[in-house]
Structure formats: C-alpha cells, structure tokens
Chains A and B, each alone.
Chain A
C-alpha cells in the first residue's frame, strides 16, 4: 500500500520542484484555503448565535474576500488545466504553453474581481 514512503516533514516542507512549482504551491494554498474556509463556515452556520456570527462576519471583510477569491479562481483555473492535460496526456508536451495561457485567463479575471470588491468596499 501507499502508506509508507519515508520522507521527513522538514524535507517535505523544503521541497521545491524544478518547474511548474509556482502553480503547484498556489494550487495547494488555494485548495487548503477553500477547505478551511468551507469547514469553518459550515460549522459557524450550524452553531449560529454570537460565536457563529463572529466567524461568518469575517467573510464580509474585503481583505478576506480578495483572499478567498484568489483561492477559488486560481484553484479552479489551474485545476482545469491539470484536468485537461491529465485526461489527454499527449497535451503534456505543451505544459509550458498551457501555463502561460492559464495566467492570461487568471490575471484579467482576478483583476476585475479585485476591482469590483474594492469598488463596493469603498463605495458602500
């Protein structure tokens, strides 16, 4: 079984791949961010009251909204790139080009989102 591989925690944390490392670590941060957010949000909504209200209040903050939008948008777009290349493995030869295309999609979409979030945060 795949239960044993023998890599220490510090070695794991120091890992830095030769290429595609930035998308890999951002994908991980995005997935982790969403998983933590959804867990806390579900528990807070379930508990309700003042404690639940406190946690759910965090999500109205514009800084949090920008962070979670980054997580969702990057993870979704990068995840689509991974999925397409993995299901049609011949395309893996064009991984570099696919990553450039991915940034070309992500940057404008995230830029517009940040603009809209800040616009309503400042304008009320």
Chain B
C-alpha cells in the first residue's frame, strides 16, 4: 500500500482532466504563496517609514489593490496604485479564482452524485469563474 501511494507523478502520469486539475491545484497553491510574498515584501519596502498596522499589511498582501490601504496613515498612495501592483493583483485574482472555483467543484462532487447534477455544477462553476474574474479585474483596474 505504501509503495502504491508513494508512486512519483511521472510514474502515475497526467492521464485525464481531473489529474491535470490535481496538479494545477498544487502548483497554483505555490503561485499564491509566491504572489503573497511579493506583496508582503513590496509593502515593507514602500511603507517602511509610515504607520501601517498588522491587519493593513495582511490585507494588502492577500490582495495588493490600492483600496486595501486607503484607510491607513500612508502619505502617498501613488506607488501602491502602480501598474506593477495592478498586474500582480490581477495574477493573484485569476490564479485564486481558478483554484477556488475548482475546489468548490471538488467539494460538490463529494456530496452530489447524480450525473446530471454534476454536469450542472460544472456549468455553474464556469459561469462563476468567468463572472468573478471579470468583476475582480474591473475592480482592480478602475480603483
């Protein structure tokens, strides 16, 4: 049993859509870690001299959008609204929405067994993925 579950990914192969999404979930998790780290380091560089509390820094790191630092004591918000941060925020949004919506399908599959219902869940997940990505991008680029 232990030999079977410790097969390397190469030996198992990425044979179908579910397997591809399985590896995507893990790689996107690492990507989210990387993007949060970029936001954290960026905040420390840009806000080192200013007053920003723990919650403010965390809110920024999880989504580096300028609206997330508007209620702080920062003097100059321009660097926080630069295209670099809008691109970083967009990347984090798209990766997190894809990871999260696929995760919701995984959860739904554990409780919903009918083939028709599962097809409907998949349809719903695509609608949700597109609308959440669209609304998120709109909010990031108009803020």
Contact = CB atoms under 8 A, between A and B. Distances in A.
A89 B136 CA distance: 36
Nearest to B26: A83
Given A35-B100, A90-B6, A92-B5, A5 B54 contact: no
Contacts of B16: 2
Contact of B112 (A9, A34, A65): A9
Contacts of B55: 65, 116-117, 120
Contacts, number: 82
Contacts of B136: 42
Interface string A31-53: 11011001100110110000000
A97 interface: no
Nearest to A79: B29
Contacts of A3: 115, 118-119
A87 interface: yes
Contacts of B139: 42, 45-46
Contact of A42 (B9, B101, B132): B132
Interface string A65-91: 100000010001001101100110110
B48 interface: no
Given A65-B55, A116-B54, A93 B111 contact: no
B104 to A, nearest CB: 6
B26 A82 contact: yes
A57 interface: no
B33 A76 contact: yes
Given A2-B18, A65-B55, A46 B138 contact: yes
Interface string B15-36: 0101000000010011011000
A28 B115 contact: no
Interface of A: 2-9, 12-13, 15, 28, 31-32, 34-35, 38-39, 42-43, 45-46, 65, 72, 76, 79-80, 82-83, 86-87, 89-90, 92-93, 113, 116-117, 120
Interface of B: 2, 5-9, 16, 18, 26, 29-30, 32-33, 53-55, 62, 67, 96, 100-101, 103-104, 107, 109-113, 115, 118-119, 128, 132, 135-136, 138-139
Given A89-B9, A116-B54, 8 more contacts: A6-B113, A32-B104, A38-B132, A45-B139, A82-B26, A93-B2, A113-B54, A120-B53
